[in-house]
Structure 1
């Protein structure tokens, strides 16, 4: 019998949000994990990339959030800023109709802005380890009411580089809180943490064909000399003619060099690595999702931080030195019900690492047949035509799709500097004819502006009727947020 989300007895607003998000039936991992977390059991979950792990903990967390409690009730720790933003977006969408507020906090972002945000009503925080430790040290986050503590990408978070940070955080979390560890790959190194901090040490291994579905991802490798790597890369791209492509390199310098070479050769390309500012990294991912360009060159920062369902090809320009990273890299393609391809270019010096990867996988990656010159020439024409179409469409303004059609996000040109508080905005809007507290969703007050969700399809009519309203005896302007 096919299980439905309704069978979990979830809040009606969570069910409606899942419907809007096109979550039709629970995935394998969601069927196993959601009931356990709803029953407040600790979990250790090993499940392939693209299997729906984020929703498997996001749904029960949102279900058990008390929206009247202004304190943080769930903390999710992730290894990268990109992943923090993506997890925050997914959980925000799941909880939006229930009026749940989720924030992402990470390094290289002004800490004063984060402190200001944490002083408002924030129910769920998604954070990188260093920055959450900073807030704990400053006493700018209250962890007393934490119900759920989740470690995402647990294999990365519990390795030698992060283990002390994670123990520090675990010791600050209420012992009664529910704890969950999630990853596509989990090894024996986490046993110590499980034994010490969790009420279970049994790994919930969600069985698929493998750590990724081999029926959805075709894997190949191609031997190359170091001098011919770039030429072979271009030949692969033209032969495969991908709609979207991620190329992985092992270092920031390699990414930069390859980016410059491919840019000179006219490819529609962007780079992603740790030397870029956070804003540039966010815009690079957003533009990639919005098809502003079709090739992204990245370090492993993107292997765990990009959830795009239609990446058709992944190329390992460098063989990953960590066998687990191979899984995370190629897992960017063939997600959910889509199909994809992953090709690894290797040289003589990479033989050792290829052997380690194949031993880990349990099979030999198929050697790619010799690249046919005619296929390359024909593919180049098609690929360049596709790129021209992307350039042509770039001029069209792309706005993020509003998933929840019943919600209108309204921009207000006043904030903290005018001494406006959340309660003032709620009071002003609830006094408008036809609007009551049930129609007012998440409110965010910034220094010079504010945002408020108007629910139940009432927002469009409100912004047409009122160009300005009075809040605390101050006349403020309203408009529909452009990103809504």
Structure 2
């Protein structure tokens, strides 16, 4: 599947337009293998881990093949309301230019509101088995003409005891439908379900999970706000001073914009992406290998084939679209028995994906604070002192003694030395920093009376709080889940809305209590 692009996959032009707007340059393995088979009309069993891009794998071909209609054309079943919302949001972006009507349907939301939306006409329904079955029994959902039935995270649905509900839904569906089943594992129950309800020529697409060796790679993340992304990168580079670094962006435009901004700040940097011709890319790569280029900014596609042993840092300026790409990215450092460093700039909205990466790769990605000016000064000060000492030892400054003598007559030489060091320090800075640290709203730590025993996950918690209290999910900070309770960090101004709307509500069947906790150390 090497070098396949989305526009090679015969998708609808409007779907390709959406994929391009989302910034995806190349399909993941499950997308590259599943999309052509789905477009050919086959039932498929897609076996792939979470974070491999499964939603786009079934969403892009499905939405390419259906048109705006008054009746439901596709039903996607998901095990939890959180996943249903996530899948619906992703499909909304995939179908942005085709203007298909989507509706998430799940428990905990007024059913009357769902019925009203269904009566207006919906093309695609994304829902949980229990609530979908409820609608079928009320005759408010008609699956007799659906073209697609998709079971997402099928093994999770079976683990949660939905097998009977799923079978009832399948029996109520159009028999000539196309059935797409996606699952991370393939237990006997899934095999029996596929054998019973899918076409005999169904295709089984299995994506083998790559192992990741991280012993020599130190992984860290910086939690940032999107508007502070570039300044955060500059602060990190000013403190770490990597000898050789690959910086990854998600899109070609992102590469161009970052290279332009870095070059304006004096960084020795060039970019690589798919729109550059072969000679440009080879020339840039040659300079990077020879060490005449300190930083290489690249997309995942352009970075394929880069074989450089001395990359000290890999920096995810933007996280990739799937876990597989993260694995490939950080594997560019820590080679030839050397230690490597991998940094990721992560907004609160991306925190849940970071946790998926940790779980899938069985590694710990530790949090670091974005450096302050004091920390930057400490780094630069040590470098300046080191350079001065080296110059003094080399004894090749005699031509400047006359100038120093003249200054000595008018100023204190300690003041002169300090002024010169200040000039050197400002020359070394890459950004016009105005504050010692990047300001953000003061966070407050909240104690919640639910935990792991209630099957709480960061994703389910963020979704519950954002929908119940009507707050932006991207503003919810660190989440620490323990067996019987949970701590979350939120901006101070969100404390009252969250406590007012969420206390007393049921989360995973338990009535929720929230209190202000002591500050996180």
TM-score norm. by structure 1 comes to 0.49
Structure (1 or 2) with the larger CA radius of gyration: 2
TM-score norm. by structure 2 comes to 0.46
> Which structure carries more helix by proportion?
2
